[in-house]
């Protein structure tokens, strides 16, 4: 099992935010696909949608999620 995020070892994560770096290499397909999906989602933020609005996206990465 591989954890995706800036803190893959479970060390205390202090003063982290949305700009904290993520690993760029993944040894398993699941974390790689998860990172790619998050990148696509965040790139879509602010894109125009039908009716003149803008798409608003959000990526949550809560800690302590199992399963």
The backbone torsions φ and ψ at residue 54, rounded to the nearest 5 degrees and listed phi first, read: -125, 145
Catalytic position from the list 3, 28, 30, 42: 30
The backbone torsions φ and ψ at residue 25, rounded to the nearest 5 degrees and listed phi first, read: -120, 140
30 included as an active-site residue: yes
User: Taking Cα atoms as reference points, which of 19, 57, 60, 62 lies closest to residue 41?
Assistant: 57
**Which residues are annotated as catalytic?**
30
């Amino acid at each position: 099992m591989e954890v995706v995020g800036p803190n893959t070892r479970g060390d205390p994560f202090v003063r982290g935010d949305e700009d904290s770096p993520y690993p760029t290499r993944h040894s398993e397909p699941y974390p790689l696909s998860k990172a790619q999906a998050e990148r696509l989602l965040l790139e879509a933020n602010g894109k125009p949608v039908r009716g003149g609005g803008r798409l608003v996206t959000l990526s949550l990465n809560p800690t302590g999620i199992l399963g």
